[in-house]
Amino acid sequence: MDRRRFLFGLGGAVVALPFLEGLGARSSRAGDPPPFKFAIFLRQANGVQQKENAEPERYWPSALGAVSAASMTADADRATSELKDYGSRLTIVKGVKFAFPGNGCGHSGGGNQCLTAAKVSVDPSGNKSLSMGESLDNRIARELNADGAEPLTLYAGMKAGYINEVLSYRGPQQLRAAERDPYNAYTRLFGLTPPSEAALAKKAAGRKSVNDLVRAQMKALLARPDLSSGDRDRLDLHFSSIRDLEVKVALRLPDTRIKEMSAMSPKSGDPINIEEVSRMQCDIIALAMAAGITHSATLQIGDGNDSTEYVIGGVKQPRYHQISHRIYSDGASGDPIPDAALKHHEIDRIHLRIFKYLLDRLDSYKVGAGTLLDQGVAVLTNDLGTGVGHSYNNIPYVIAGGAGGFLKTGQFLDAGGVTSNQMMNTLGAAVGCKNGAGDVLDDFGDSSLKKGLIAAMRV
C-alpha cells in the first residue's frame, strides 16, 4: 500500500491538506506502509567551476572525509557551502566519470549519459545525438511506480532549439519531453479546485466510457497481422497510455502559490524567469513525493548548453554557455569574458541555492521522527565536469537525504574515477531497485561496464 492509497483510504474523498502540513502523525502508526523512497535529479549544464588548468578549485569542499555545517561554513569560498545547513545529511562524490565519448558535441553526449550510463548514438550525431539506453528515473518509475505512472519530467528555462531536453529516456533513443510550465505540471498532477464528488464521478464515468471505446479501437488495430515491430511498439505505448480519471491527490499547494504559477504560465519559457520557475518546479516535485505520485523526478535547468543570461548581483550576465567557454562565443573564437571563471562559480551557487530550496521543501514534510528528505535522495548533477574542457571526469554529484539510511551521509568522498553506472546503481539501489536476480540493482547502464555500487557511499 503506497502513500497515495493510504491517503485515499482516509475516507475516499479529496482532502485538501494545507501546504507544509505534517504527515507524521498518520505515517508513524504501527502497520503503516514502508517508507516511500524516491530519487530526484536536478541537472545543471555546462560543468562547474572546479579546478582545471590554471583555474582554482571553487566547487568541492576543501577536504575529503566528514562534512558538517561547521566544515562547510569554513569552506565559504566553495560553491557547495551553499548547502551548509544540510552538511550532515549530504553525500558529496567526486571521481565519477562518464564512460563513453560523445559523438561530436560534448554537451549532447554528456546529456545522453547523465542519467543513463549508456552509449551515445552513432546516428544521430553532434547536438542531435541520443542515448542508447533508458535513464535511471525511468527505471525507478518502471520498477517502483504503481499503475505504470510515469516519472515526473520537468524543465526550467528556454528551449533554444540547439539542444533542448537531455535527461529522461524511455529506452534507447526515446527521449522524453519535459514540461517547462509549472502551472501545467501542477494542474496535471493535482488538479485545481477539487470538484464535488458528484461532478468528479460524472467526469470519471465519461472518461471511462470514452476510454473503453478507444481501448476497443486500439485492440482492433493491434490485432492487425501486418504491423511492423516498430508500429506495434508505438501502438502498445498508446494503449498503455490510456488512463481512466485518477482522483487528484489529496495534497495541495497554497492558493497564493498556484496563482503565482498561473501568472507565470505564459512567460515560463522566458529565460529571465529560470530561477523562479525552477523553484516552482521544486515545489511540485516535493509535493509529488509527499503524495507518493511517483518515485522519481527530474528537473533540467536550462537547455542543453544552457544559454541563459543569469543575473548576478542584479546584473544580467553574458550567456552561461559563453561564460563556461570564457569567451563571447558559443564556439572557439571570441573575445574573452572578464572574470568568466568567477561568474561561472556564481552560477554554480545559483544552482546550489535552487537545490537547497528543494531540500527545504522536502524537509518541511514531517514523516515519523524525520522528514521526507530523509526517506529519499535528491541529487544535483551536471552533464559535464567542466565547461572549458567539456570534461567527462569529476562529474558533480551532490546528494542529500540518505534514502532511509541506505547512504552514509555527512561525507565528501572520491570514488576514484569509477564510471557513472556505479553511481546510478548506488542511487537506484538506495531507493529499492533490484537487478534481474532480485538483489540490489548493480547492473544498470551499458552492459559492457563494470558492475557494482560505490561501496564508500553506503552505510
Partner 1 sequence: MMKAEGMRWLLAVSVGAALALGGCGKGTVGGHDDVVIVDPTAPKPELLVDSTRFPRLTHKQWENTVQDLLRLDKPLGLSARFTTDPPGSTFDNDSKVLRMTPGLFTDEAEACETISDMLGTDAAMRAKIVPAGGPGGSGDATAKAKAFVESFGVRAFRRPLTKEESDQFIAFFLGAATITGDADAYVAGVRMTVQAMLQSPPFVYRMELGAIAADGHRHLDAFEVASKLSYALWNTMPDDALFAAAKDGSLLTASVLETHARRLLGDPRAKPMIDDFHERLLSLDRLDILGVGTKDATAHPEWTATTAASMKSETLLFTNDVVLGRKGTLADLLTSNETFVNADLAAIYGVSGVSGTAMQKTKLDPTQRAGFLTHGSFLAINGGRIDTDPIHRGVFTNRNVICADLPAPPAGMIPPLPDNPAGKTMRQRVSEHTGLGTCGAGCHGTMINPIGFAFETFDAIGKWRTTDQGIPVDAHDSYDFKDAPGQTNTLGYDGPVALARVLAQRPQVHGCYTGKWLEYAYGRALVRDDAGLVDRIGKLSLSGASVQDVIVALILAPSFSQRPQGGS
Nearer to partner 1, 109 or 404 (CB): 109
Q: Which three cell numbers stand for residue 302?
A: 536550462
For 20, 21, 66, 276, the CA distances from 361, given in Å and listed in that order, are: 8, 11, 25, 14
Distance CA 23, CA 17 (A): 9
Least gap, CB of 249 to partner 1 (angstroms): 14
214 binds partner 1 (CB under 8 A): yes
Q: Which three cell numbers stand for residue 223?
A: 490485432
Least gap, CB of 406 to partner 1 (angstroms): 29
Which is nearest to 215 in space by CA: 242, 246, 244, 245? 242
Buried b (16+ CB within 10 A) or exposed e, 54-77: ebeebbbbeeeeebeeebbeebee
Chain positions 292 to 311 lying near partner 1, rule: CB under 8 A, are 307, 309
Least gap, CB of 203 to partner 1 (angstroms): 7
417 binds partner 1 (CB under 8 A): no
51 binds partner 1 (CB under 8 A): no
Cis peptide before 18 (omega within 30 of 0): no
Chain positions 92 to 131 lying near partner 1, rule: CB under 8 A, are 101-106, 109, 122-123, 125-128
213 binds partner 1 (CB under 8 A): yes
- Which stretch in 70-78, 330-338, 431-439, 443-451 sits in contact with partner 1 by CB under 8 A? 330-338
Distance CA 297, CA 245 (A): 22
| Among residues 161, 313, 314, 438, the one that binds partner 1 under rule CB under 8 A | 161
195 binds partner 1 (CB under 8 A): no
157 binds partner 1 (CB under 8 A): no
Nearer to partner 1, 188 or 259 (CB): 188
| Among residues 28, 196, 209, 448, the one that binds partner 1 under rule CB under 8 A | 209
Least gap, CB of 219 to partner 1 (angstroms): 11
332 binds partner 1 (CB under 8 A): yes
Position of cell 563513453?
Answer: 100
- Which stretch in 2-10, 206-214, 362-370, 414-422 sits in contact with partner 1 by CB under 8 A? 206-214
271 binds partner 1 (CB under 8 A): yes
90 burial type by CB count under 10 A (0-12 exposed, 13-18 middle, 19+ buried):
buried
Least gap, CB of 123 to partner 1 (angstroms): 4
Per-residue binder mask for partner 1 (CB under 8 A), 339-378, x = binder: ----------------------------------------
Nearer to partner 1, 73 or 209 (CB): 209
| Among residues 216, 259, 263, 267, the one that binds partner 1 under rule CB under 8 A | 216
164 binds partner 1 (CB under 8 A): yes
Helix (H, G, I), strand (E, B) or coil at 299: strand
DSSP 156-199: ES---SSS---S-EEETTEEPP-B--HHHHHHHHH-SSPPPHHH
| Among residues 336, 416, 417, 452, the one that binds partner 1 under rule CB under 8 A | 336
DSSP 8-class letter at 4: H
Distance CA 423, CA 49 (A): 21
Chain positions 173 to 192 lying near partner 1, rule: CB under 8 A, are 174-181, 184, 188
Nearer to partner 1, 325 or 349 (CB): 325
Chain positions 308 to 327 lying near partner 1, rule: CB under 8 A, are 309, 316, 325-327
| Among residues 82, 134, 165, 348, the one that binds partner 1 under rule CB under 8 A | 165
| Beta bridge mates, 380 | 42, 398
Chain positions 220 to 249 lying near partner 1, rule: CB under 8 A, are 221, 226-228, 230-231, 234-235, 237-238, 240-243
- Contact present, 93 and 423 (Cβ < 8 Å): yes
Size of site (CB under 8 A) for partner 1: 80
For residue 82, the number of C-alpha atoms closer than 13 Å in the C-beta half-sphere is 24
Distance CA 409, CA 407 (A): 6
| Beta bridge mates, 52 | 55
267 binds partner 1 (CB under 8 A): no
Nearer to partner 1, 28 or 241 (CB): 241
For residue 378, the number of C-alpha atoms closer than 13 Å in the C-beta half-sphere is 27
